[in-house]
Structure 1
Amino acid sequence: MIDHNSFILSVLDHSPQATAIYDHADLNIAYANQVMLEIWCADTSVIGTTLCKAFPSFAQEGFSSILKNVWKTGITYRAQDVAATIVAGDKHIKRFFDFEYKALLDDAGQTHAILHTASDVTERNLTNRRMERQRDELSLSYKLDRFANTLAHDLKNPLSVLKLGNDFLSRNTYASADVTKRWYKNFAESIQNIESIINQTLQLNEVRGVKNIAAIVEIDKKIGGWIDEVKLNFPNQHMEFKLGQLYPVSADKGTVYQIFANLIGNAVKYAKEADAYLHIYSESTNNGIVYVFEDNGIGIPEDELSQIFMMQVRGSNAVHRSGTGIGLSLVKDLMEFMGATINLSSALGKGTIVRLFFPHGVEEC
C-alpha cells in the first residue's frame, strides 16, 4: 500500500519549485526540498527547527510575522519582487523573490500547515529596473488623465468635510462656541490636506527631477483626524477602529495622508454590515517600518487579486457599492513614488490585509 505522505514528499523532492512546509504556529520547518535549501543557503539540519531560530534575519525582515498572520487568519499571502537578505556564513546576500504562503486548512477551517513556495527572480528584477531607467516618460494625455482622476478622487474627503461643516453652521447659527471651534479645526485640517494633495499630485505629474520631501510623520498623532475625516463621509457605516503600535515613518507628509485616507476609506466603504472592524498597526524591521491594515470586510475574489492595483479596476463583488476603482491604483503609485512597497492579500467574505513597507534611510524619492 502506498504511503501517500511519503509519495507526495518524494514528488516535491524532485520539483523545480522551491518548496517548504511549516506544520505549527511557531513556524516549525517540517519539510524543505533541495531547491528551497539552496535558496536559503542551508542544509537539512534546519528541518525540525523553527524558521525564526534557523534564520533570524527572516524574522528581522518581517517574513515570520507575515507567516504567523497567515497561520492565524487562514488567508494565503502572495508577493512579487520582494527583497530578502540571505545569510551565507559571513556574507549577506540581497536577492529578490516571488513567493506564496498558502494556508492549508482542516475541515474546521483552521490552519494546520503552511505551504511555502518561492522563485528567485533577482535577474528579472535587475532587468526590469534597467528597462524602467530607459523607459520614456508617460504620454502627456495619460498623465493628464491621471492628474484629473487623482484630484477628483482624493479631494472628495476634505471637500466633503468643508461642505458638511458649512451646511451645519449655516443651519445652526447659535451653535455653542465649543462646537463651532471644533468645526473650524476640521476646516483648517481639511484645507491643509487639500493643499497637500494638490502639491503632491503636481509632483507626480512633473518630470522625474522633482524630489519628494521626506520628514518624520508621527502617525499616532495624525491618524485620529484622518479616521474622523473618513467617518464624516460615511455617516451610515459603523466600524470599530483598533489601533496598535504606530511607529513614525520617514516620508512625505501629504503622500502618507493620501495613502492612509484611501486605505481607511476603502475599509469603511467595503465593510460588512455587522461587527465591522479595521485593525491598523505597525512593525519595526531591520530594513524599515511595516504598516498593516487588516479588516473583516467583503474581501476580494482570489482570481481578481492580480488586477486589483490596475486603474479603475474593482472587485466584482463591489459593483453595488459606490467607488471609482482609483484608490488602490493611486496608493500603489504613491508608494512606488516614495521607494516604498505595498502588498495585499484577501479572502472572499473574510476580509483584506494590506501591508505597506516604508524603508529606512529614504531621504529623497
Structure 2
Amino acid sequence: MHINQLRCEDEAIQFCGQIQEYGFLIVADRKRLIVAASENCSHWMDLTSTGILKTSVNQLINNILPMSVMAIEASITSVYGQPVDKRFVHEISLGTSDFYLSIYGDCDHLYLEFEKRQSTAISSLIQIQSYVQQIEQTSAIWDILCQCISNVIGFDRVMTYRFKEDNSGHVVAEKVKPGLTSYLGLHYPEFDIPRQARDLYLTQLTRHTSDIHSPTYPIHALQDEPIDLSASALRALSPIHLQYLEHAGVRASISFSIVAHGKLWGLVTCQHQSAKAIDLSQRQLAMLLTKYAVSRYLIMEKENDLYIGKQVKEFELALKEKLLLGSSMPELMPDIAEQLCKFTRADGFAMVNKGETFVFGSSPTVTQVRQIHAFINKKSEKSFYKREDFRKKFGLTLGVTDADFAGVVKMDMDSSRTYSLLWFRREQAIERLWAGKPEKVMAYDQENQVFVPSPRSSFDAWKEMVNGIAPSWSKSDIYFMKRVRKLIRESLLRKSQEIHTLNQELIQLNNALDTYAYTVSHDLKNPLSVIKLSVQMLQSKKGLSSELLGRLTDNMKDASELMEDMLDKIYECSKVKQFRYEPTVIQTEQLIPQIVAHCQTLYTAQHCQFTIGELHPIHGEPTLIYQLFSNVISNAIKYSSKQADASVHIFSVQTNGKVRYTIEDNGIGIPQDELKHVFDMFKRMSNSSNFDGSGVGLAIVKRIVERLGAQVDVESEIGKGTIFHLYFPN
C-alpha cells in the first residue's frame, strides 16, 4: 500500500501568498501596472487590494505620496532588473501612520513594501560605535555579537547557530535572559531548517515575525500564478515554522543570516516569549553588526591561516631543499612523518609507493594499509579521498575492525594511483546534546489524505553518544596535504626532466660518436690518398729527380702529420661530452692552396683552373678548419672535374663584423628542390650518381660550423654550378 507523504523540504515557502499584519505589499510588472496587492492595503489607504489592480504605480504614488514623487520615481527606475538586494528605503507617512517604503525589483516585477514604523528608537551613534569596538577588540566574536544584538532589540534569547557540513547545526554562543534554560552547545537536526529555508536565508538576510498569533493577509493578483516573496520582509511564516516556534515557547522571532565565503555559515537567532515588534532601523543595525562580526571573523581566520601558512612554508622550504638535493620521499619518511602528522593533526601516517609501504604513528599495519589503499582505489576514482567514519563503514569488509583508527585521507601523487600518502585519525567518542530527540514527526492530514511534517513538540535536552567517527579535517589540514602533494609532484617532474636531459645527452653523445666514425672513414681518405699516390709514383718510376722526390716525400710527411693531428682531435672529442677548444687566429694563405693541391691530385683534376683571391685570417680550431675547407673544396673540385673548362674560385671579404669565405664552382649543380636536404647525413643528390661519394661530407661540414659558431649557406643551379658561403665570427 502506497502512503502519500509531503516532505518538509517540498513546501514552497517563498510562494506562501500571505504577508504579516505590520505592513502591506504592492507588486507591479515591467510596464509599471499593478498586478498584485495584499488584502490589508485598505487598512491604510482609501483603496482596496482589488481596486488598485491594473492601475499605474505612478498614478498610485501621485495620489498617496504627492510630496515624494520624484525621489520614489528615481528609486523605481534604479531597481528594475537589478538583484533583489539592491533596494531603496524611504520614510513616508500615510494619514496618521508612519511607514518605511522599501522598493526593490527583479527581472519581472517591481515590489513596493510598506512596513509600519515602531515607536522604538534606534541606538545613538555613540552606542553603535561602542558595539563595533567591542566586536573588534575580542576573540569571542559571537558571544559579543549576541550581547550587542540583545542590547539593540531586547529579546529574551539571542544565540549564534552554526551549520555543520551535514547541514545540522549547534549553538556556539548565547545571551539569554536570567531564569531561562540555556541552549548553548545544543545540536539541531538538518530538517529543523530545511534546504529551501536555508536558500531563502541567502536571499533575505533578515527574517522577523512580531507575533506568531497575529493574523496574516492574502495577496490578490491578476494572474493565477503565485507571487515570489523570497525577498519580502513581510512574508508570512510557514504554518510548520509557526507551530515549531509555539512548541518552543516562542512568540516573537528574528533571525540574521551569517554569510561567509558566499555560503550560509550560520544564523543569529533571536527569540522572545511575548509578542514584540522590532523597528526596521533596529533590525538593520543588528544586521550591520552581524556583517561586521563576519568581517572580523574572516580577518581572524585569515590571520590564523597566515600563521599556519608560515609554519607550513618553513616545513615546505626544508622539504623542498632535501628533495632538490636528490633525496626521495621514501628516504625522507623517517625524518618528516612526525611533522606530516603534526600539521594535519593526524594520529598516523602511511606512504604507499608501488610495492613499498611505510607506516608511522597510530596507523594500521603494512598489510592493512595496502588493503585500504587498494579498496579506496577501487571505490573512488578521485585523487583525493577522505572519510571520517571509514573503519565504522568498511572495517568489517576489510577485516580492519581491530585497527586503531577511525577516519582516513588518501591523496594520490600520480595518475597511476600507485603512489599515495594516507593520514589516519582515531575516533573521538563524544556525548552530543540535542534540542529534543532528532527525529522527524509526521502527522496524517485526513482531509487531503497525506502525511505532512509536524514540528517536534519537545526540546528537552536529549543525549546521544557518537562513536567510531574521527574529527573532521579542516580546510587548513587539507591545504597542507595538497601543498605537500604539489612539492612531491614538482620533485618527480624535476627528476623526470633530469632523466630526459640525460637521455638527450646520450643521444648527443651517440650522434657525436657517429660523427667521429664518419670523420675517420671520410676525412682521413684525402691524406691517405695523397700518401698512396705518392708511394705508387715512387714504386712505378725509377730515377726520379731530387726535386720530385722531395715533393713526394713532403706530401707524405704533411699527410701523415695531418692524419695524426686529426686522430688526436677525434680521441680528445671522444673523452668529453662537448668538444671544447681555445679559438686561435688561423692564416689560410698556405692552408687553402695545400688543400687545393691535394684535391687536384686526388681527383686527377690538373686541368681545373683555380682563382684564389684575398684570404682573410679567421678564428677557429686548426684541425676543424682544415676539415671544413677540405670537404667544401674537394666537393667543388670533384663535381666540376668532368667539365672541360672546370674552374673553382675561392676568396674572402669582411662583411657585417664577420669574415665570409666563398667557394664557387661551375660543376653539375644541385636541383632546387633538393637544396634543403644537402646537409643531411648519407644524402646524395639525384644527379651525382656518376661520382664517388657517401653523402657524409656536407653533414660533417654542418656539424663543424655549428661547433665553431659559424654559418654556412649554399646557392646552386643545375648545370651551372654551386656557391658555398662560410661566415666566421671575428
Distance 1:218 1:320 in 2: 35
Say if 1:346 and 1:352, in contact at 8 Å, map to a contact too: yes
Give SS of 1:219's match: coil
Can you list the C-alpha shifts for 1:203-254, whole angstroms capped at 9, x where unaligned?
4444345422322211112221111111111115631111111101111111
Distance 1:203 1:344 in 2: 31
Give SS of 1:316's match: coil
212-221 vs 261-270, greater mean Cα deviation = 212-221
Of the candidates 673, 678, 681, which is equivalent to residue 308 of structure 1? Answer: 678
2:697 matched to 1:327?
yes
Say if 1:313 and 1:326, in contact at 8 Å, map to a contact too: yes
Residue matched to 1:154: 523
Say if 1:335 and 1:342, in contact at 8 Å, map to a contact too: yes
Residue matched to 1:34: none
Residue matched to 1:255: 624
Say if 1:212 and 1:338, in contact at 8 Å, map to a contact too: no
Distance 2:710 2:573 in 1: 15
Residue matched to 2:652: 282
Of the candidates 647, 657, 665, which is equivalent to residue 295 of structure 1? Answer: 665
TM-score by length of structure 1 reads 0.59
Tell me how far 1:134 sits from its aligned partner.
Answer: 10
**Alpha carbons of structure 1 residues 141 and 305: separation in structure 2 relative to 1, 3 Å:** same
- Structure 2 unaligned residues grouped into runs of 5+: 1-499
2:554 matched to 1:213?
no
Distance 1:256 1:161 in 2: 19
Can you list the C-alpha shifts for 1:169-214, whole angstroms capped at 9, x where unaligned?
1233431211111112111211121123223333444434542232
Give SS of 2:645's match: coil
Of the candidates 716, 721, 728, which is equivalent to residue 351 of structure 1? Answer: 721
2:708 matched to 1:338?
yes
- Structure 1 unaligned residues grouped into runs of 5+: 1-130, 361-365
Distance 2:578 2:529 in 1: 34
Can you list the C-alpha shifts for 1:72-127, whole angstroms capped at 9, x where unaligned?
xxxxxxxxxxxxxxxxxxxxxxxxxxxxxxxxxxxxxxxxxxxxxxxxxxxxxxxx
2:540 matched to 1:171?
yes
Residue matched to 1:105: none
The residue identity in structure 2 corresponding to 1:159 is: L
The residue identity in structure 1 corresponding to 2:544 is: A
**Alpha carbons of structure 1 residues 204 and 299: separation in structure 2 relative to 1, 3 Å:** farther
**Alpha carbons of structure 1 residues 176 and 269: separation in structure 2 relative to 1, 3 Å:** same
**Alpha carbons of structure 1 residues 266 and 171: separation in structure 2 relative to 1, 3 Å:** same
**Alpha carbons of structure 1 residues 161 and 356: separation in structure 2 relative to 1, 3 Å:** same
Residue matched to 1:115: none
Residue matched to 1:27: none
Distance 1:152 1:315 in 2: 20
Relative contact order, higher structure (CA 8 A, sep 6+): 1
Q: Once the two structures are aligned, what percentage of the paired residues are identical? A: 36
Of the candidates 191, 198, 211, which is equivalent to residue 560 of structure 2? Answer: 191
Which has the larger Rg? 2
Say if 2:515 and 2:700, in contact at 8 Å, map to a contact too: no
Tell me how far 1:305 sits from its aligned partner.
Answer: 0.7
Of the candidates 551, 554, 570, which is equivalent to residue 201 of structure 1? Answer: 570
Distance 1:256 1:135 in 2: 27
Q: How does 1:93-172 map to 2 (within 5 A)?
A: 135-138=504-507, 141-172=510-541
Residue matched to 2:592: 223
Say if 2:605 and 2:637, in contact at 8 Å, map to a contact too: no
Say if 1:193 and 1:257, in contact at 8 Å, map to a contact too: no
Distance 2:511 2:621 in 1: 24
